[in-house]
Amino acid sequence: MADCIKCDVAIVGSGFAGAMIANELSQKGISVVVLEAGAGITPNINDYMKRFYKADAKVPESPYPPEFVDSKGDVIEPAKVAAGRPTVLTLGASNWKDPKQAYLVQKGPRPFASTYERVAGGTSHWLGTSLRFVPNDFRMKASYGKNQPGFSLPDWPTAISSETMSPYYARAESELGVSADVKEQSFLGISFSKGYNYPMPRIPPSLLDQRIGDALTLLNDDETKFLGMDKPVTQVAVRSLPAARNSRPYRNRRACAGNTNCIPICPIQAKYDPTITLNEATNRGAQLIDHAVAREIVIDNDRVSQINFIRYKDEAGPKTADGCLKARIYVIAGNAIETPRLLLMSKNQGRTAKGVANSSDLVGRNLMDHPYYVAWGLLPMTARPVFPYRGPLITSGIGDLCDGPFRAKRAAFRIDIGNEGWNYVIAGGAFGADPHLTTIDFVNGMNSSGLNKQEFSQVKDNSALLGAGLAQKLNDLVSRQFRIGFLVEQTPDPNNRVTLSSTFTDALGLPRPEISYDISDYTKQGIVASFRTKNLIFRKMAAQDFTERAEGDPTGFDEVIDGQTVKLNYGGAGHIMGTYRMGDNPKTSVVDSFQRSHDHNNLYLVGSGTFPTGGTANPTLTLSALAMRTADSIVSDLKSQG
């Protein structure tokens, strides 16, 4: 092995947290080296855009390497990929438990349904939603767990609260470039420092946002008492979502042009992604080493002494070289699956038999997501069209219902309002997603989407249309399609965990992550409340409900609601949280409030894996704010070391 690379701070992972910490430190003249398991920063996004345009399946992973399907369209076996990742195409009923197709070795009983990237910039396929947590999200046990036997949602460390996080939120909002309105976002106790303004004005609401807002202005207590709020709900606000998307030019990036493919990629880079911050860091001297997979954290006298890594050139491996990295401070900034994987792989010839930073036996445990219940419907012919496929994918949502006394008994939810019609919710099979799928239906007299049936076509059989008749029918129907989604709070469960597969490896010979996952009754009751809320919204909009659960959906479960058995399910929100939680007590947590390991004082574990609970807000803004706080702690550590 060649001599180790030396620096002040070594970072594994170049996503949001890793990029931000690298940039904050490089501004202060601190030497930083970042290891990235996947491809490095591209000179431009043209190659990614070409991959996206040419991909048959426009899934979140389609623009980014490595390839996950071969020239025949078959899934590439994960054992042949050096830096593998889960993909949407390997979450189906037939293959989610097949390790020859799915990178994650899933043991169930239910699928963990979210995916992630391993590429410079990390999760660049994010939507851009940048919500602050509501105050009670940090104090679930104190607020709702009293006199509740078995209540499993803990508090965050005492040093972390809505008030203490506010200045770090502001710093993160500046770095990401968040468009929002302070007055509109001041709800459920969320507060801002005096005179604070977001970097840019809010993204304007869509026609659908406005329509749903109008429908929910006149409600009565009988309609909404199932919500369990602390006072009668007679109206529900639809608020623009804070978004890391430019509403006007910001930091030499142009304003949003309303493309509807924010997920997986913004073609004009009006949406922030971490390569922006990573470029700033490398321009200041930080070194990025790509195609470098960390394989072991070496411990000497309870401190990290180096990180060993493997270099490779091609996506299929094999390794081209071994390397090592020595630093004063080490930061592991993989996500909440890859970070525990690395910690658990680091056995140190048996000296850390349970893995690094794992004296609590909590590394890999309490894996969480926001189980995502999605519903779609059709507005009546008499209603004004809402014209989906215009503007960003999501511009507004409903957050006022995500906190209240009900959280003692059931999970909270937040509602996204989708501007992409029925696009992905009816995707599948040989004909893709909408609007293509509905078009094929009416051309060929099929009914895959559910729209081409008697009450719409006024004929006994499915319509088969061409020319002006086809155009008119699509105009009538597609313009009235809409969908909403419910991000549901998940309880941390130590049995929901990441471990190492004893059987399946990647192309570098490293064990792949093994996942055990389920959702609790508390979370299921949040999905039940989501179902009831969906019915209320659809009723107020006079919309016809087309929501259905796919046959054999492994996420499906049945619940009796108002005397009837209802088929429910969930999807993945891409919000991977909780596998190395923070806390004040080393026996019940892995890191402290600064995200520093309780076991090794020169090791930081960052990202949403440190979240004790997930609330309902997308985690990116909070993990970015925590990264800013950690960067300050690292600067202090280095100063104290002299």
Q: Are residues 378 and 307 in the same domain?
A: no
Report the half-sphere exposure of 248 (CA within 13 A, side-chain side): 6
Q: What is the pLDDT of residue 458?
A: 54
Asked, for residue 416, whether it belongs to a domain, the answer is yes
Q: Residue 30: is its pLDDT beyond 60?
A: yes
- Is the CB of residue 491 less than 8 Å from the CB of residue 522? yes
Q: Are residues 393 and 416 in the same domain?
A: yes
Q: Are residues 304 and 230 in the same domain?
A: no
- Is the CB of residue 18 less than 8 Å from the CB of residue 631? no
Q: Are residues 302 and 409 in the same domain?
A: no
- Is the CB of residue 327 less than 8 Å from the CB of residue 319? no
CATH number at residue 589: 3.50.50.60
Q: Are residues 470 and 530 in the same domain?
A: yes
In single-letter form, the type of residue at position 339 comes to T
Pairing outcome for strands 372-378 and 303-312: unpaired
Q: Are residues 363 and 408 in the same domain?
A: no
Mean pLDDT computed over every residue of the chain:
96
Asked, for residue 38, whether it belongs to a domain, the answer is yes
Indicate the residue among 568, 599, 624 that finishes a domain: 568
H or E segment to which residue 10 belongs: strand 9-12
Q: What is the CA angle 291-504-297, rounded to 5?
A: 50
Q: What is the pLDDT of residue 73?
A: 85
Q: What is the pLDDT of residue 76?
A: 96
Pairing outcome for strands 32-35 and 287-289: parallel
Q: What is the pLDDT of residue 72?
A: 87
- Going by C-alpha positions, the residue among 415, 367, 374 that lies closest to residue 568 is 374
Give the helix ranges, DSSP H, for 216-351: 221-224, 275-283, 338-345
Q: Residue 268: is its pLDDT beyond 60?
A: yes
Asked, for residue 498, whether it belongs to a domain, the answer is no
Q: Are residues 263 and 253 in the same domain?
A: yes
Asked, for residue 512, whether it belongs to a domain, the answer is no
* Residue appearing with tokens 């006079």: 542
C-alpha–C-alpha distance, residues 617 and 131, integer Å: 6
Mean pLDDT, to the nearest integer, of 265-270? 95
- Going by C-alpha positions, the residue among 82, 402, 371 that lies closest to residue 229 is 402
Mean pLDDT, to the nearest integer, of 336-348? 98
Q: What is the pLDDT of residue 18?
A: 98
Asked, for residue 151, whether it belongs to a domain, the answer is no
Torsion from C-alpha of 99, 104, 106, 110, nearest 10 degrees: -130
Pairing outcome for strands 319-326 and 5-6: parallel
Asked, for residue 332, whether it belongs to a domain, the answer is yes
Asked, for residue 604, whether it belongs to a domain, the answer is yes
Q: What is the pLDDT of residue 294?
A: 98
Mean pLDDT, to the nearest integer, of 129-148? 97
Enclosing domain of residue 310: 5-126+271-368+575-641
pLDDT in tens, 614-629: 999 999 999 999 999 9
- Is the CB of residue 67 less than 8 Å from the CB of residue 76? yes
Indicate the residue among 535, 568, 601 that finishes a domain: 568
pLDDT in tens, 320-329: 999 999 999 9
Q: Are residues 290 and 212 in the same domain?
A: no
In single-letter form, the type of residue at position 349 comes to Q
Q: Tokens in use for 545? A: 């409900």
**Which of 237-251, 409-423, 449-463 comes out lowest in average pLDDT?**
449-463
Mean pLDDT, to the nearest integer, of 48-68? 92
Q: What is the pLDDT of residue 588?
A: 98
Asked, for residue 531, whether it belongs to a domain, the answer is yes
DSSP characters over 540-607: HTTPEE---PPTT-TT-EEEEETTEEEEE--B--S--B-TT-B-S-TTS-SB-TTSBBSS-TTEEE-S
> In the chain, what's the furthest Cα-to-Cα distance?
83
- The helix, strand and coil proportions of the chain, stated in percent and rounded to the nearest 5, come to 25, 20, 55
Three-class secondary structure of residue 641 per DSSP: helix
Q: Are residues 266 and 227 in the same domain?
A: yes
pLDDT in tens, 151-162: 999 999 999 999
pLDDT in tens, 428-477: 766 789 999 999 999 999 988 988 875 555 555 788 999 999 999 999 99
Q: Tokens in use for 347? A: 């056995």
Q: Residue 504: is its pLDDT beyond 80?
A: yes
Q: Are residues 561 and 586 in the same domain?
A: no
pLDDT in tens, 556-596: 999 999 999 999 999 999 999 999 999 999 999 999 999 99
Q: What is the pLDDT of residue 548?
A: 94
Q: pLDDT band at 282, cuts 50/70/90?
A: very high
Q: Please state the domain count of the chain.
A: 2
Q: Are residues 334 and 387 in the same domain?
A: no
pLDDT in tens, 356-369: 999 999 999 999 99
pLDDT in tens, 475-503: 999 999 999 999 999 999 999 999 999 99
Q: Are residues 30 and 73 in the same domain?
A: yes
Indicate the residue among 537, 568, 599 that finishes a domain: 568
Mean pLDDT, to the nearest integer, of 269-276? 97
